[in-house]
Amino acid sequence: MALQNSSETGFVRQPASDLLRASATDLAARIRRRELSSRALVEAHIARIQRVNPALNIVVRDRFESARREADEADAKVARGGELPPLHGVPCTIKEAFGLTGMPNSSGLYARRNVLADHDATTVARLRQAGAIPLGVTNISELCMWMESQNKVYGRTSNPYDARRTVGGSSGGEGASVASGCAPFGLGSDIGGSIRMPAFFNGVFGHKPTGGLVPGSGQFPMAEGASVRYLTTGPLCRRAEDLMPLLRILAGPDGLDPGCESMLLGDPRDVAIEGLEVLSVEGNGVFAPVAPLLEAQRRVARHLERRGARVRVARVEDLRHSLDVWSAALAASEGPSFAELMGEGVPIHAGAELLRWLTGRSHHTLPAIGLALVEKLPALLGNRTARALELATSLKETLAAEIGPRGVMLYPSYPKLAPLHGTALLPPIQFTYTAVLNILEMPATQVPLGLHRGLPLGVQVASIGGHDHFTIAVALELERAFGGWVPPARWFTRV
């Protein structure tokens, strides 16, 4: 557990177990106060990755030696004195879909297995400029379009709470990284729940920002047309207090992402729970949440009501059309088809690829092949697609009116606890609980609510566009009330 000898270095000796539980905000403060060295902090997290990775397959390529050098440079800067950036010396992990100089950037596509990033994505660069030290890149689903982080390049990642279960996708490696103590925070992206489902299944915090708030530049694949505002980049972290500082670092136009715009970010400290309007929607009318999730959401509603919030339970009938809204909106966006992305510009023949998969000869995963098979369906439905696009507009207006300018919505993250590997295909459309909020461009924070029989519980807290500080304020309140992230016992009984 020894990380620094105070008599030799001047730093306070601190147990690794403490460092693997602390927030990035707290760790950065300790480094600034010279209570902790960046090198000791980086070494503690490297040791954790080396311990869990053989079992869980989280970090698919490390940069440990570079991280050690950067940590030493960070410590030297502390010794020299002067102003330090907000994340100075704090380690993190990065979803492999983002460019991180010198690291793989395949997005789980076998044809890109040898591609290395030659520059940092905008958000990666912003984190590094803020002082963060990336330890490596984490596993994802093929081309970021499924909720199981598995591909033919890196294999499958398993859940720290139960290795038989999914970590979610496509930022599943990031969810598992934060949950298992590999990093205090990570960078993910989300076009249908790819931050929130991994955060839920792994029991950590995750924030999907308002559409257009954070640039997506430098990740692969990159959205085009209207979908640039549906694809969002945001943080996953152990502690709620990191959400807003990380969002402030990530937000703002970069001149590259045409969908990103300047927005005024509010302060969660200005959001009073007393008098807050809370709309609790307990299901989408298609897939009913299991009892433990429903009861967890009701506990949240009761707590907020006791704190003075005005809670209203309601059904929003049009949410039953979430799949139509999401699929139609993506189909109407510009850009290459999924089949073209799978074929690196030349569309794969999905039917033939399915036959190859059945005989064990395909370099693609079954969910990716399935999406290539069905992606043309919305265009073939004609008027139904047009109606779905109209419905998206009306649903956005309905929820804005129901939530109001001083409100949030509680909404299930998924109808089940973390599924067993492969079973999310049965049926494959339950992700619409998260996906619809992308099309509506609403901010949403995934909040952990303890465990049920060893598996994480949670709820989404959403609000109207630009009100990210409202959802984060509620996340902070719920962490105080319910405890937030519960470290997985298997990986935290010994450190």
Question: Which are the catalytic amino acids?
Answer: 95, 170, 194
List of long-range contacts for 74-79, beta carbons under 8 Å, 24+ apart = 74/31, 74/38, 74/131, 74/133, 75/37, 75/38, 75/39, 78/31, 78/32, 78/34, 78/38
Strands 277-280 and 232-237: unpaired
Contact 165, 418 (CB under 8 A): yes
396, 402, 408, 414 alpha-carbon torsion, rounded to 10°: -60
Tell me the H-state helices in 213-308: 243-250, 291-306
Question: Both tokens of residue 231?
Answer: 């694809």
Contact 168, 198 (CB under 8 A): yes
Question: Both tokens of residue 292?
Answer: 């433990």
Residue 120: strand, helix, or coil: coil
Close Cβ partners of 171 (under 8 Å, ≥ 6 residues apart):
95, 138, 140, 149, 186, 188, 189, 190, 194, 195, 198, 206, 236
Q: How far apart are CA 276 and CA 466, in angstroms?
A: 16
DSSP string, 313-364: E---GGGGGHHHHHHHHHHHS-S--HHHHHTTTS---HHHHHHHHHTT--SS
List of long-range contacts for 83-88, beta carbons under 8 Å, 24+ apart = 84/31, 84/32, 84/131, 85/129, 85/130, 85/131, 86/28, 86/130, 86/131, 86/245, 86/249, 87/24, 87/28, 87/127, 87/130, 87/131, 87/132, 87/249, 88/28, 88/31, 88/32, 88/38, 88/130, 88/131
Cis peptide leading into residue 170 (ω within 30°): yes
Sign, CA dihedral 391-301-406-478, equals: negative
Sign, CA dihedral 301-302-303-308, equals: positive
Question: Both tokens of residue 87?
Answer: 């994340």
Contact 265, 293 (CB under 8 A): no
The rounded radius of gyration (Å) of the Cα atoms in the chain is 21
